[in-house]
A and B are shown apart, each in its own frame.
Chain A
């Protein structure tokens, strides 16, 4: 009997997508074949940037979303919304669409078979080989993406509305979709501090091999870590084969956020501080990022997380209560329900690892970690019976604490972690992710593009 897990899981879909041209001369040649040029602008909701399609192009072309290769056709979109399957049959949760306005479409004058040059920050970035042009009703796409209490009664509790940022993202899409495969033709450089956390799937798999890791567990984050997160990471990582997991990767979702959230710079560096300050050895802890404007889609977002991290080479994924959730829309255990027994109305009669064309990673559904004054430590809710004394962790509570100028006690947040928050507070001001920060971040983005000369377009 072999108990050891000796290799990393295969990529979702069988092979990692790599659609990045690394030779600038070849990139120029591809650009020369384009019939029009389009400058990416962020998707706006009430004049605030809520999504930038460039992040989707990056995550697709660098293989995070394998096997997706581009903007979806109408047939693929329909199948996805009905069954959460791509036309190839592989499971996938979210529509990936390159959306433009009617006016932009008329101005571009493109159609099926044309190649579009996509520019970002004034430089050539990618190309899109147009296979289909079609119209969507953004509100309908949004509603069907997240589900409704009628169509998805197992997990959707109340109808989605404009208080939900993910719903606003899809309902703010422009109505014309250019479908087709993307290719990045001008290799971007990640800006500081994100550059040192950039581990696209091919690179993360290389890194795991270099470190001798064959069992790796992933921790999803969009937050600065408190000691409850740290306890979750350390304890979840006790799963493994004949010994606990070799590695723990923290994968931070980097993209447009809400006013008041921590800046992404603080999130990645504070997680890194957990290992730099020695709370989890850097030998088994790696902080990484994925570019994606969080949709807060709880169970369906958890599916995307599972796919991303499997593509990165991860064997297990921690899923907690209210995973990637916001507001009262989903049942608080919806993500865990998906990974425990499936959600039939979303196309999962069984969990995503037990269906055809499913994932090859395993969930680690965790209950809760709280501080127990009786135990005098952070404890697991299934162990600790001192229910009358427990103190739950709350990111919002900690942010309130910081705003009132209270140095958070070590029992809640490591002092080194707090100091990283202060570092970025000095840089960007308060409240965190204020309007100025969000607007400027959406101009600078997370990447720079080298200058590339290409033919002039109208």
Chain B
């Protein structure tokens, strides 16, 4: 079996809070990260990896580095279908052409994180 981790930031977590999905949230790395872990059969995993630029299976059998557009679409489907079952994967796969179009644009629209890195640069200067 392969897996997909859908990361939950505060916004996404609040979107599913109170729904049956809340009980399916997994704490990763001692609670530092919250995620919904989905099981993905081989045939669907292959469709995702073959169909999306960058997507790959890591050593844990998790599909990683899929375009952000795919992760966003996946979360939206989870939220609307209130499920992390295979039907959610199938629903997202029907939108693959549109996701691929959005993925192409990601290099232009994915912003650099707005964080202060001056302390790291100061260490380098020192």
Q: Which of A's residues lie within 8 Å of B, judged by CB?
A: 259-260, 269, 272-273, 276-277, 321-322, 332, 371, 373, 376, 391-392, 394-397, 399-407, 409-412, 416, 419-420, 422-423, 425-426, 429-431, 434
Contacts and interface: CB of A to CB of B under 8 A. Distances in A.
Given A259-B54, A406-B9, A431-B54, A419 B110 contact: no
B58 interface: yes
A273 to B, nearest CB: 7
Given A404-B68, A404-B71, A406-B7, A411 B30 contact: yes
Contact of A405 (B62, B107, B113, B124): B113
Interface string B51-72: 0011010111010111010010
Given A411-B32, A431-B54, 6 more contacts: A259-B54, A276-B126, A321-B59, A373-B31, A404-B7, A426-B112
The 7 closest A-B pairs by CB, nearest first: A409-B32, A396-B64, A419-B120, A419-B117, A396-B58, A373-B30, A394-B58
Contact of A392 (B31, B33, B59, B119): B59
A394 B112 contact: no
B65 A273 contact: no
B123 interface: yes
B80 to A, nearest CB: 20
Contacts of A411: 29-30, 32
A195 to B, nearest CB: 14
B87 interface: no
14 contacts: A273-B124, A394-B62, A394-B64, A396-B65, A397-B58, A397-B60, A402-B113, A403-B110, A405-B113, A409-B33, A419-B121, A420-B120, A422-B115, A431-B106
Interface in B75-95: none
Contact of B110 (A407, A426, A430): A430
Interface string B1-15: 000010101000000
B109 to A, nearest CB: 9
A376 B5 CA distance: 21
A395 B33 CA distance: 15
Interface centre among B53, B117, B126 (most CB of A within 10 A): B117
B121 A396 contact: no
Nearest to B53: A259
Contacts of B110: 403, 430-431
Contacts of A407: 113, 115
Given A322-B59, A394-B58, A416 B107 contact: no
A400 B64 contact: yes
A331 to B, nearest CB: 13
Nearest to A375: B30
Interface core residue of A395, A412, A430 (most chain B CB under 10 Å): A430
A394 B30 contact: no
A422 B65 contact: no
A171 to B, nearest CB: 21
A391 B107 contact: no
